[in-house]
Amino acid sequence: MSSIRRKLFLQILLVILFIISALWLANTFMLEPYYMKTKKDQLIRARNSINSFGVSDYGEKVDFLVDMGNELNAMILIFNASGDPVYTTHLIPQEPGGSIPVIDARRVPPSRNPLETLYSETIDSGTKIELSIDRMGEQRFLSLKSKLDNGFSIHMSIPVSSIESSVSVVNGFLMVVALISSVLALVIAFIISRKFTGSILHMNRITKKMKDLDFSERCEIDSRDEFGQLAGSIDDLSESLDSTLKELGEKNEALKKEIEHKKVVEEMRKQFITNVSHELKTPLSLIQGYAEGLEMNVASGEEKRAFYCSVIREETERMGRLVKDLLDLSMMETGNFALYKREFCIDELIRKVTGKFEKVLTENGIELVYVEGEKTVVYADSFRTEQILTNYLDNAMHHVDERKEIRVRKDVQGNSVIVRVFNSGQNIPGKESEKIWTSFYRADNARTREEERYGIGLSIVKAICDLDGKSHGFDNLPDGVEFFFELQRAETLAI
């Protein structure tokens, strides 16, 4: 049995025992005084009623006196001023309307007192109440003796039973009732305590689960009283805590990801600064060296000075292209860049871009294959689309193997057009599948100035596709690698 249930059970039992004990004490010590006081008050009220009679009124008040004697079960004696008895209930017929007969003095109780007085109480100057006992029959009498206002005197006597025997009987009865009540109290108290504490124990179990961050259980207490309200409050608190903790958990996870992202971004920023410094250091050194040579007239001949100037111009153009690509990439990644979309034929754009690479591809013995199909119109930024295709072709040209094959094709898939650029060569390792889209990343870690490649071409592709909300990526094929990017197909299907 749980603690609160045991306490409630014992408290109910103690209340019942307290009530029974209080009744026993009241019956033992207060019943007899109360009984005697009631009898005294009855005698005093009767005396006050008779005191209002005149000397000649007793013959007319016989019925009243008879009724009073019967009601109180009292013996009434009235004596005149000379001490002669003028009325006694012992000589009056018990039917109302009877007349007062001649009083036979032989039947009037003798003036001697055969009773033993137990105690006497004076009510006023002419009235006294006595409790007497007849030792012969062990009968007790409560008597009132008083002087009336008309000069007569009255003596009333009421037999009183011994209250002690009554108290003993009642107390015995109370003990039986107490025993039966105690047994019933055990049963009732157990039922009440179980019913009363069941809800409390249920809520206590749920709050313990809440302490352990388990909010799966609810207080299913169907009640409109305070228990029902408390259960509803616990459910509301549980739901609120569950929602708050989930929200905090989500925010904590988001914060962790943000912190990790910031770490990655910070690392990328440091690497970016390092890479940019590395890429700008060499051309700046060349420009400075050749400029100083011109300033100091190191180049004596016209041909040599022209060579110095061409180097300065080439390095300046190279830095200009790098800075422009970096600015574009920065604006795209920060969202401060807008795409200017329009409808155009993707096939014409592919021919235009592949045509730019025709000379350099021929010089390197690379075969470029592009099979035109039905002309397709797309809705995109033509300049940035050309930039993506150019970067893909440039990347393919620098990673093609000895087979020297590059293929360009397009796939129409519903409302999308997928442009694919394939080059024969080695597959891209899985560990580098994400790194290749990072600025200044080179799979071979080589940065030859002759190639004029800085490793930001694929980063620009990713930034443009992310800004447009289109997909991009690559697929490793058995004979090479195929890069792709997605465009939105225009409503005009063909031209």
pLDDT tens digits for range 442-471? 555 444 444 444 467 788 888 888 888 899
Closest to 344 in 3D by CA, of 368, 376, 320: 376
pLDDT reported for residue 98: 43
What distance in Å separates the CA atoms of residue 102 and residue 78, rounded to the nearest whole number?
14
pTM listed for this prediction: 0.44
Q: Over the chain, what HEC string results?
A: CCHHHHHHHHHHHHHHHHHHHHHHHHHHHCHHHHHHHHHHHHHHHHHHHHHCCCCCCCCCCHHHHHHHHHHHCCEEEEECCCCCEEEEHHHCCCCCCCCCCCCCHHHCCCCCCCCEEEEEEEEECCEEEEEEEECCCCEEEEEEEEECCCCCEEEEEEEECCHHHHHHHHHHHHHHHHHHHHHHHHHHHHHHHHHHHHHHHHHHHHHHHHHCCCCCCCCCCCCCCHHHHHHHHHHHHHHHHHHHHHHHHHHHHHHHHHHHHHHHHHHHHHHHHHHHHHHHHHHHHHHHHHHHHHHCCCCCCHHHHHHHHHHHHHHHHHHHHHHHHHHHHHHHHHCCCCCCCEEEEHHHHHHHHHHHHHHHHHHCCCEEEECCCCCCEEEECHHHHHHHHHHHHHHHHHHCCCCCEEEEEEEEECCEEEEEEEEECCCCCHHHCCHHHCCCCCCCCCCCHHHCCCCCHHHHHHHHHHHHCCCEEEEEECCEEEEEEEEEECCCCCC
Q: Sign (positive/negative) of CA torsion 293, 299, 302, 307?
A: negative
Give the CA distances from residue 370 to residues 410, 419, 421, 422, 425, in Å, rounded to whole numbers and listed in that order: 9, 11, 10, 11, 18
Q: Which domains does the chain have, with CATH numbers?
A: 251-337 (1.10.287.130), 338-489 (3.30.565.10)
pLDDT reported for residue 112: 42
pLDDT reported for residue 384: 87
What distance in Å separates the CA atoms of residue 160 and residue 37, rounded to the nearest whole number?
12
Residue numbers in the chain where pLDDT is lower than 50? 1, 92-112, 445-454, 493-495
pLDDT tens digits for range 161-202? 655 666 677 777 877 877 787 787 777 777 776 676 667 777
Contacts 24+ apart (CB under 8 A), 54-62: 54/150, 55/80, 55/150, 55/151, 55/152, 58/86, 58/87, 58/100, 59/99, 59/100, 62/92, 62/96, 62/97, 62/98, 62/99, 62/100
